[in-house]
Amino acid sequence: MKLKLLVIPALLASLLGCEEKEVAKKIEVEKPKPVYVSTYQPLGSEEFVITNATVLVGNGERHENTSVWVKSGKIKGVGQTLQYPKDITIYDGKGKWVTPGLIDVHSHLGVYPSPSHEANEDGNEMTEPVTAQVWAEHAVWTQDPGFDLARAGGVTSLQILPGSGNLIGGRGVTLKNVPSITVQGMKFPDAPHALKMACGENPKRVYGSKGRAPMTRMGNVAGYRKAWIDATAYKEKWDKYYEAAEQGEEKDKPKRDLKLETLAEVLRGNVLIHNHCYRAEEMAVMIDVAKEFNYEISTFHHAVEGYKIADLLAENNICAAMWADWWGFKHEAYDSVRENVAMVDKANACAIVHSDSAIGIQHLNQEAAKAMAAGNKKGLSLKPEDAIRWITLNPAKSIGLSEKVGSLETDKMADIVLWDQNPFSVYAKAEKVFVDGALTYDRLNKQKNPVSDFDLGIVDPQGERL
Amino acid sequence: MRLIKIGLTCLGVSVLSSVMTSQNVLANNQSNISANKNYLIKNATLHTATAKGKLNNADLLIRNGKIAQIGQNLTAGSNVKVIQAANKHVTPGLINASTNLGLVEISAVSSTVDAATKMPGAGASFDIAAAINFRSTLIPQNRINGLTRAIVMPRSSNSIFAGQGAAIALHSTMQGILSENVLQAASYGASGAGKSGGSRAAAMQKLAQALEDARYLRKNENRYLPGFKWEFSQSIADLKALYPVLDKKIPLVISANRADDILRLIQLAKTHRFNLVISGGGEAWTVAKELADAKVPVIIDPIRNLPSFESLSIRLDGAFKLYQAGVKLLFSGGGSHNAYLVRQSAGNAVAYGLPPEVAIEAMTINTAETFGIANYGQLEVGMDADVVVWDGDPLEVTSNPDVVFIQGQKQPLVSRATRLRDRYWELKGNHQQAFKRQ
């Protein structure tokens, strides 16, 4: 009723037949509020500096004998002659390496947690092919011991995605890899949501086998297009409602539709598309679907054939998130080459190494190392400072957070890993992991590391699982 | 002996050297090898997988498919190609102790998968060797990455006994079959329980009963007349397939993870007098002493550390702890498509404490010994020349093979994947160009 009162001056003006052109009084309508908001608080950090380390910045730079200074949870400086206060904590980085906290753009931790069993499978709402209304964060089990294991591997941020059984599987969420009883307590503040889409075999198998659409890749694309047509109409309806309010015109408020609302947010550029898509020609078709409906694709995930269309990816500013070497589990994953990541990178496209695995996420550095070595064996000269981008700044860009994380640059969040040696080695271990400057994992002081509820007392009532 | 017949038909020749471990051994065709060049690898670090461990700055001579000499300052002689390998490392060709190589092309395309059968009555008698496809693209992809041998396991389906596994060399012809029936595979733990009405107790009963029945049948086979109604827990064929297990000619590989499951299987092996190998072994390290005392080897993928309700104690230093207690380790990892990634798993075990030379043994000689693969698994004079020259530390993820020999044959480092790579390497936006023949 509050809204109606506001309308009155405008109505009066028109009833009185005023001739002079009046600016219609804007109607204040309720805009969607942020919901399921992040309650994440940095765990509390002291000011510290890591000295004399080999620093991989994340943006392609490498600095030897360099210090990284952290204050109030932010990078205060990176350099050889920093003027930090003498009384802050100093970690000797001699012989050690420092990188940004690793970022995995494709994880199902919490939605397909360990222990893996049917009752814990919460990533695929395979009841209809378009379920843009579901949100991964509503299913994340924060006690998944995989979070702790990933942290020990240096992962500080991760995007949790719904699965690929549907054409449009739902919203993904980016988390800070910190212990938390609630998922809100892990949510990366102000990170854009993802929308998971899937090409190829999975959706057509899931629904085709039920005698429903999509049964073919044709049906897949028809399904996306129908969804975007509906979303476009929905968005227009709301746009008109808001525009009318701007013009002082009262209109009935459209009814919210969760599915279309998410899709409309993509069209508005607020939700980023993360598209599971293996084959080159399917990626090319998806690029055209995006053009048809005026949305952007952030990233193709599992882009096993990224190397075939690396130029298209670069041209369209689309990241490719890839495994180092997985192949052959499906026909669409048959044309894998071990140089895929390096070849996409070589074409100046945004190359990312992702895990899609609760084991792989613990060894993202090794996965990147293999991809680097494969490229070098073929004649490239990729260095650690190049390959680190695949698991730091490029994934940060993919999830819309490259202004905040992904590189060790002043004023960015102090998500940092101190490695005991060159991280592009099978022997390398994350020795200390900082999230927003807070020491969240310390290999040398395991008693202080967080332990999930799951781990507690489950092996030995009086001891720890690990 | 029917198997040998297949081998002879296909391959023509029978041979001197290899492998005659059990009664079912296929001829190992070396007719190509005699035409081979001889090679001298110079100045390499040799990881011998013998008591000698690592030899620095050493030479290795390959002649007539065999390792002919190891030492320093070896001279090439005539007709020997020299491979300069300063700063390079040499290992035996690696073996993965648990794969479905040759049994799967594309996992999700069932017509290309032969790893398991649901056929009623096919349990222990299910012999996987007949299905192995040596023309599979998985063979060269693994070969060029340093894997020269593999244990091919049947995958369990309905029966608690999965059947007989084989040992192969990664040739792209039938020449690759080394030894059929090197093991019998069975399931325990949650998987075995699932095949036994839902309880481990029933699974244990089923395993014990089958072994008992097999022993009884073997002893009394002659007492039964044709047409007699046999009353056994398994088919006659399946029980007969367990004879080599009872004779300790082949091990019974049982998958199990939970500590108490493993202890009970050790007891089962004692009671029924067979050679047990544990595969999986998530919690094996917690009963490492018992495994060591019973001389039970463990097939383990050391990179696996995700807890399940039967692997709550699983951890990255599990392999190290098993080694410390004296358990023989056989490594698996990487599945079948990337069975060569057993090397990455092994590297992670080393990162968590395992001595590097022990990790190499777990990808070579330990597996050879456990499954009776003769003349393979060490850099030792007289062994088949399965030899890999690596461009760096063989356990390091950034290392790759420079040269791969299988039984003395130098392998082209080409696979379907490298062909695809080369086709697109210099593409630069010209998509038509890709389809030209190279």
The tokens describing B123, both together, are: 């349990």
Percentages helix, strand, coil for chain A, rounded to the nearest 5? 30, 20, 50
Q: Which amino acid is at B30?
A: Q
Task: Determine, for residues A343 and B303 on separate chains, whether the beta-carbon distance falls below 8 Å.
Answer: no
- Mutation choice for A interface testing from B345, B424, B425 by most A CBs within 10 A: B424
**Is the CB of residue A41 less than 8 Å from the CB of residue A49?**
no
Same domain, B289 and B438: no
Domain CATH code at residue B128 = 3.20.20.140
Tokens 């968005």 label which residue? Answer: A235
| Cβ-based contacts of A370 with chain B (< 8 Å) | 344, 397-398
- Mean predicted confidence (pLDDT) in B216-245: 89
pLDDT tens by residue, B204-222: 999 999 999 999 999 998 8
CA distances from A164 to A106, A150, A196, A421, A460 (A): 11, 22, 8, 37, 37
Task: Determine, for residues A459 and B399 on separate chains, whether the beta-carbon distance falls below 8 Å.
Answer: no
**Is the CB of residue B332 less than 8 Å from the CB of residue B97?**
yes
- Mean predicted confidence (pLDDT) in A169-191: 98
- Count how many domains chain B has: 2
For residue A181, being part of any structural domain is answered with: yes
pLDDT given at position B19: 36
* Residue B136: closest C-alpha in chain A: A328
- Mean predicted confidence (pLDDT) in A42-60: 96
**Is the CB of residue B171 less than 8 Å from the CB of residue B134?**
yes
Same domain, B277 and B414: no
Same domain, B15 and B105: yes
Task: Determine, for residues A307 and B424 on separate chains, whether the beta-carbon distance falls below 8 Å.
Answer: yes
Same domain, B426 and B344: no
Tokens 């993820």 label which residue? Answer: B397
For residue A10, being part of any structural domain is answered with: no
Task: Determine, for residues A328 and B138 on separate chains, whether the beta-carbon distance falls below 8 Å.
Answer: yes
CA distances from A272 to A29, A195, A286 (A): 26, 6, 14
- Mean predicted confidence (pLDDT) in B403-411: 97
Same domain, B252 and B286: yes
- Mean predicted confidence (pLDDT) in B216-237: 86
HSE-CB of B253 using CA atoms within 13 angstroms: 29
Give the burial string for A102-139 (b: 16+ CB within 10 Å, else e): bbbbbbbbbbbbbbeeeebebbbbbeebbbbbbbbbeb
Question: What does DSSP assign to residue A223?
Answer: H
pLDDT given at position A9: 45
Domain CATH code at residue A152 = 3.20.20.140
For residue A330, being part of any structural domain is answered with: yes
3-class secondary structure per residue, B303-332: CCCCCCCCCCCCCCCHHHHHHHHCCCEEEC
**Is the CB of residue B43 less than 8 Å from the CB of residue B59?**
yes
Task: Name the more confident of A253 and B433.
Answer: A253
Give me the sheet containing B147-152, strands edge to edge: B94-99, B147-152, B161-169, B177-187, B252-256, B276-280, B298-300, B329-331
- Mean predicted confidence (pLDDT) in B36-51: 94
Q: Which of residues 170-229 of B touch A (CB under 8 A)?
A: none
Same domain, B273 and B386: no
Reported as a pLDDT band with limits 50, 70 and 90, residue A22 is: low
Q: Which amino acid is at A247?
A: Q
- Count how many domains chain A has: 1
pLDDT given at position B34: 38
Reported as a pLDDT band with limits 50, 70 and 90, residue A7 is: very low
- Mean predicted confidence (pLDDT) in B23-40: 53
Spatial distance between the Cα atoms of B295 and B258, rounded to a whole number of angstroms: 18
Of B347, B376, B405, the one marking the end of a domain is B376
The tokens describing A118, both together, are: 């049917």
Question: What does DSSP assign to residue B276?
Answer: E
Question: What does DSSP assign to residue A143?
Answer: T
| Cβ-based contacts of A466 with chain B (< 8 Å) | 315
Name the minimum distance, in Å, from the CA of A283 to any CA of chain B.
Answer: 14
Interchain contact B398–A (C-beta under 8 A): yes
Reported as a pLDDT band with limits 50, 70 and 90, residue A317 is: very high
Beta-bridge mates of residue A207: none
pLDDT tens by residue, B65-115: 999 999 999 998 889 999 999 999 999 999 999 999 999 999 999 999 999
Chain A to chain B, count of Cβ pairs less than 8 Å apart?
124
**Is the CB of residue A263 less than 8 Å from the CB of residue A195?**
yes
Closest to A429 (Cβ–Cβ): which among B351, B400, B421? B351
For residue A456, being part of any structural domain is answered with: no
pLDDT tens by residue, A408-436: 999 999 999 999 999 999 999 999 999 99
Reported as a pLDDT band with limits 50, 70 and 90, residue A10 is: very low
Domain that holds residue A395: 96-406
Asked whether residue B13 carries a pLDDT value surpassing 90, the answer given is no
**Is the CB of residue A286 less than 8 Å from the CB of residue A257?**
no
The tokens describing A424, both together, are: 């592009």
Spatial distance between the Cα atoms of B131 and A175, rounded to a whole number of angstroms: 46
Query: Which candidate, A23, A186, A33, places its Cα nearest to that of A109?
Result: A186
For residue A284, being part of any structural domain is answered with: yes
Of B335, B361, B376, the one marking the end of a domain is B376
For residue A422, being part of any structural domain is answered with: no
HSE-CB of B278 using CA atoms within 13 angstroms: 37
Reported as a pLDDT band with limits 50, 70 and 90, residue B30 is: very low
Spatial distance between the Cα atoms of A127 and B337, rounded to a whole number of angstroms: 32
**Is the CB of residue A368 less than 8 Å from the CB of residue A359?**
no
Same domain, B245 and B319: yes
Asked whether residue A182 carries a pLDDT value surpassing 90, the answer given is yes
H or E element in which residue A106 lies: strand A102-107
pLDDT given at position B226: 74
- Mean predicted confidence (pLDDT) in A132-137: 98
Domain that holds residue B402: 36-93+378-438
A102-107 and A155-160 strand pairing: parallel
Of B359, B376, B393, the one marking the end of a domain is B376
Same domain, B89 and B117: no
Other CB atoms within a 10 A radius of the CB of residue A85 amount to 9
Task: Determine, for residues B398 and A358 on separate chains, whether the beta-carbon distance falls below 8 Å.
Answer: no
The tokens describing B44, both together, are: 């390499």
pLDDT given at position A44: 85
| Cβ-based contacts of A380 with chain B (< 8 Å) | none
Mean pLDDT of chain B: 91
CA distances from A284 to A319, A326, B74, B428 (A): 13, 22, 57, 16
* Residue A146: closest C-alpha in chain B: B306
Beta-bridge mates of residue B113: B104
pLDDT given at position A2: 40
Asked whether residue B32 carries a pLDDT value surpassing 70, the answer given is no
Interchain contact B304–A (C-beta under 8 A): yes
Reported as a pLDDT band with limits 50, 70 and 90, residue A20 is: low
Query: Which candidate, B301, B420, B108, places its Cα nearest to that of A206?
Result: B108
Spatial distance between the Cα atoms of B231 and B235, rounded to a whole number of angstroms: 9
Same domain, B176 and B217: yes
Spatial distance between the Cα atoms of B155 and B163, rounded to a whole number of angstroms: 8
- Mutation choice for B interface testing from A362, A426, A466 by most B CBs within 10 A: A426
Closest to B306 (Cβ–Cβ): which among A146, A363, A378? A146
CA distances from B230 to A339, B158, B210, B225 (A): 59, 22, 14, 10
Name the minimum distance, in Å, from the CA of B312 to any CA of chain A.
Answer: 6
For residue A139, being part of any structural domain is answered with: yes
Spatial distance between the Cα atoms of B303 and B332, rounded to a whole number of angstroms: 10
Spatial distance between the Cα atoms of A343 and A238, rounded to a whole number of angstroms: 43
Same domain, B76 and B21: no
Spatial distance between the Cα atoms of B335 and B183, rounded to a whole number of angstroms: 19
HSE-CB of B144 using CA atoms within 13 angstroms: 17
pLDDT given at position B10: 33
Spatial distance between the Cα atoms of A14 and A18, rounded to a whole number of angstroms: 6
Task: Determine, for residues B306 and A338 on separate chains, whether the beta-carbon distance falls below 8 Å.
Answer: no
H or E element in which residue A116 lies: none
Question: What does DSSP assign to residue A135?
Answer: B
pLDDT given at position B11: 33
Same domain, B118 and B177: yes
H-state helical runs in B242-314 = 243-246, 259-272, 288-293
Task: Determine, for residues A343 and B315 on separate chains, whether the beta-carbon distance falls below 8 Å.
Answer: no
For residue A16, being part of any structural domain is answered with: no
Cis peptide before A214 (omega within 30 of 0): yes
Spatial distance between the Cα atoms of A455 and B106, rounded to a whole number of angstroms: 36
Phi, psi of A455 (to 5 degrees): -70, -25
Asked whether residue B290 carries a pLDDT value surpassing 90, the answer given is yes
| Percentage of chain A exceeding pLDDT 90 | 92
Task: Name the more confident of A392 and A446.
Answer: A392
Same domain, B224 and B328: yes
pLDDT given at position B225: 74
The tokens describing A158, both together, are: 């991760």
Helix, strand, or coil (residue B57): strand
Spatial distance between the Cα atoms of B106 and A434, rounded to a whole number of angstroms: 41
Tell me the ipTM for this assembly: 0.94
Domain CATH code at residue B75 = 2.30.40.10
pLDDT given at position B1: 28
The tokens describing A184, both together, are: 């809100």
